[in-house]
Structure 1
Amino acid sequence: MSTPDLNLLLTLDVLLAEGSVARAAARLQLSPSAMSRALTRLRQATGDPLLVRAGRGLVPTPRALELRQRIGPLVEEALAALRPATEVDLRQLRRTFTLRSRDGFVENFGPALLARLQREAPGVRIHFVPKLDRDSQPLREASIDLETAVVDADTSPELRTRALFRDRFVGVVRAGHPLSRGPVDLDEYLAGQHILVSHQGHDHGPMDDALQELGLARQVMALVSGFSAALALARGSDLIAMVPERHTSNLRAGLHAFNLPVALAPMTISLLWHPRMEADPAHRWLRQCVHELCSTT
């Protein structure tokens, strides 16, 4: 059985509304002969004459009257589906979004984001998940909706991005640590023992690369997979941690931060999402919320 031409639904809707081949043709910007051919196809598809001659005009058959009650809503729903998405009613929105980020992001920006959602869209929930790798497949598969990351050459070119804020690395030690008493020079820094944050398990980081160019090296005593663990170790020992300043500001409460003696390039934390979500009104609203909060918090 051949698939019916769904374009005929719109033609039938107009024909039944106008009750005239000529008026229906003018409304759809078709020639009368083209509309007559369309009516013939509709009669063949439905097995009913639909419109029959009565004097100088056409009258609908019982089948046509039945279809008229059903076709109108169908056509309107189809047309609505093909229109650009309108603004979402945030008060009525019921949806869960998944946001993936490194540790520190939730602690810094999560409370303000949840407070805004509660005010504007109380039916929205955020599922915060940890970012364990740079794989973009979860964004493609829609298992996550948004992600925060530093965009670089390894970032998938298909993803949409928007810069959130600039950040820089700082050194961190416990309160009362010898390095907390004033500016830290390179000799003092290298004399200490260090914590390396390595998300991928590498045994070196940006500081080690910078020191290597100077023919120097630091003594790494511990490797951890996240900023929270690095700061926990620094809080309870004499080890020195290196973390992004703004990204970890709340996590560093009670610790001493200092400028690194070797300048490292600043970084831009960006918001990433898949193109399929670009025009979704609710997703677009959430992206704007995150951007505004990160720009001001």
Structure 2
Amino acid sequence: MADPDLNLLLALDALLAEGSVVKAAKRLGLSDSAMSRTLARLRDATGDPLLVRAGRGLVPTPRAIALRERVHGLTEEARAVLRPAAGIDIARLERSFTLRASESFIEVFAARLVTRVTAEAPGVLLRFAPRPDRDVQALRDGRVDLEIGAHFETAPELKVQSLLRDRLVCAVRDGHPLTQHKVLTPDLYAAGRHVVTSRGGRLREPVDDALAALGLTRTVVAVVPSFPAALAIVRASDLIALVSEGQVAAGSAGIRTFPLPVAMDDVTVLQMWHPRHDADPAHRWLRGQVLAACREGP
């Protein structure tokens, strides 16, 4: 059996509301003859005359009267489905969001973000999940609402927004031998022993390429997955770490920093989401909260 023509519902709603072929045609922007043909199709589809002549006008049959409210409700629901999403009352929103971010981002920005969100939407739950890799499949699957970080796998359909720019600095403990120098030179930096931050366990970073161009290499003695872990080691040793300046500014007692003695690009932190959420008012509000949390002062 062929699917029914759902356009007939709109015509039936207009006919039952107006009780007139002429008025229903005008309401839908059709000619009188087109509406008459539509009424004939409706009669065939329902097996009922629906509107019958009474003097100079038309009156509904019992079947038409029984259908009137139901048909109107169906057409209104269809119109609502096809309208843009209405604004939402954020204060009454009850929803959970999963944000996948690095430990560093969570340490610096999570408290600020949670404070903003709970102040406006006490019914919202934020789930912070670690980023064990750069794969974006979790976004595509709907398991994650937002990916936040500096590096992603490319995926042309995903939406991306820049949150902030940061730079890498050299971090050592208070009292470290390097603190006796007013300027950190490439030779002094390379001569130290280093802890590297890498979720994948990589030993080599872009700074090593910059040092190699100067004929220098550094000695790496530890690899950890996050900036907070690197700073914890630095605080208790004479190792040197390359960390986000924002991470240190957020509060790292006992740490001294130096500008890197070689040129390095700034780091851009992004948030990324799947297009299915792009027009969702609640998700759009969340993205605005993340952006504001990243850009407000510490």
Using the TM superposition, name which of 23-32 and 186-195 deviates more: 186-195
Matches of 2:92 and 2:220, distance apart in 1: 52
Amino acid at match of 1:194: H
- Please state how far the C-alpha of 1:247 moved relative to its aligned partner: 4.2
| 1:167–1:247 CA contact under 8 A, matched in 2 | no
CA deviation vs aligned residue, 1:42-93 (integer Å, no higher than 9, x gap): 2222222211111111111121111111121221121111111122110121
The reply on whether 1:258 has 2:245 as its aligned counterpart is no
**Residue 5 (structure 1) aligns with:** 5
| 1:107–1:251 CA contact under 8 A, matched in 2 | no
Matches of 1:168 and 1:64, distance apart in 2: 71
| 1:50–1:61 CA contact under 8 A, matched in 2 | yes
- Please state how far the C-alpha of 1:150 moved relative to its aligned partner: 2.7
Matched ranges for 1:87-98 at <5 A? 87-98=87-98
**Residue 147 (structure 2) aligns with:** 147
Name the TM-score, length of structure 1 as normaliser: 0.94
**Residue 232 (structure 1) aligns with:** 232
Identity of aligned residues (%): 55
Instruction: Please state whether the residue corresponding to 1:184 is helix, strand or coil.
Output: coil
- Please state how far the C-alpha of 1:215 moved relative to its aligned partner: 2.0
The reply on whether 1:207 has 2:210 as its aligned counterpart is no
- Please state how far the C-alpha of 1:285 moved relative to its aligned partner: 0.9
Matches of 2:132 and 2:217, distance apart in 1: 27
Matched ranges for 1:38-117 at <5 A? 38-117=38-117
Amino acid at match of 2:148: T
The number of residues matched between the two structures is: 296
- Please state how far the C-alpha of 1:169 moved relative to its aligned partner: 0.3
The reply on whether 1:126 has 2:126 as its aligned counterpart is yes
CA deviation vs aligned residue, 1:128-174 (integer Å, no higher than 9, x gap): 1111111111111111111123367x422222111111100011122
| 1:104–1:251 CA contact under 8 A, matched in 2 | no
- Please state how far the C-alpha of 1:121 moved relative to its aligned partner: 1.1
| 2:210–2:262 CA contact under 8 A, matched in 1 | yes
Amino acid at match of 2:142: A
Matches of 2:17 and 2:288, distance apart in 1: 43
Per the alignment, do residues 142 and 76 of structure 1 end up closer, same or farther by CA in structure 2, a change over 3 Å counting? same
Using the TM superposition, name which of 214-223 and 267-276 deviates more: 267-276
- Please state how far the C-alpha of 1:199 moved relative to its aligned partner: 2.3
- Please state how far the C-alpha of 1:248 moved relative to its aligned partner: 5.0
Query: RMSD of the alignment, in Å?
Result: 1.7
- Please state how far the C-alpha of 1:13 moved relative to its aligned partner: 0.9
Matches of 2:286 and 2:27, distance apart in 1: 41
| 1:234–1:240 CA contact under 8 A, matched in 2 | yes
Per the alignment, do residues 10 and 151 of structure 1 end up closer, same or farther by CA in structure 2, a change over 3 Å counting? farther
Instruction: Please state whether the residue corresponding to 1:85 is helix, strand or coil.
Output: coil
Matches of 2:251 and 2:11, distance apart in 1: 63
Unpaired runs of at least 5, structure 1: none
| 2:165–2:267 CA contact under 8 A, matched in 1 | yes
Name the TM-score, length of structure 2 as normaliser: 0.94
Matches of 1:75 and 1:24, distance apart in 2: 15
| 2:90–2:121 CA contact under 8 A, matched in 1 | yes
Unpaired runs of at least 5, structure 2: none
| 1:88–1:282 CA contact under 8 A, matched in 2 | yes
Per the alignment, do residues 253 and 9 of structure 1 end up closer, same or farther by CA in structure 2, a change over 3 Å counting? farther
**Residue 171 (structure 2) aligns with:** 172
Matches of 2:116 and 2:135, distance apart in 1: 29
Amino acid at match of 1:291: L
Instruction: Please state whether the residue corresponding to 2:249 is helix, strand or coil.
Output: coil
CA deviation vs aligned residue, 1:9-54 (integer Å, no higher than 9, x gap): 1111111100111110111011112111211222222222211111
Using the TM superposition, name which of 86-95 and 12-21 deviates more: 86-95
Using the TM superposition, name which of 253-262 and 13-22 deviates more: 253-262
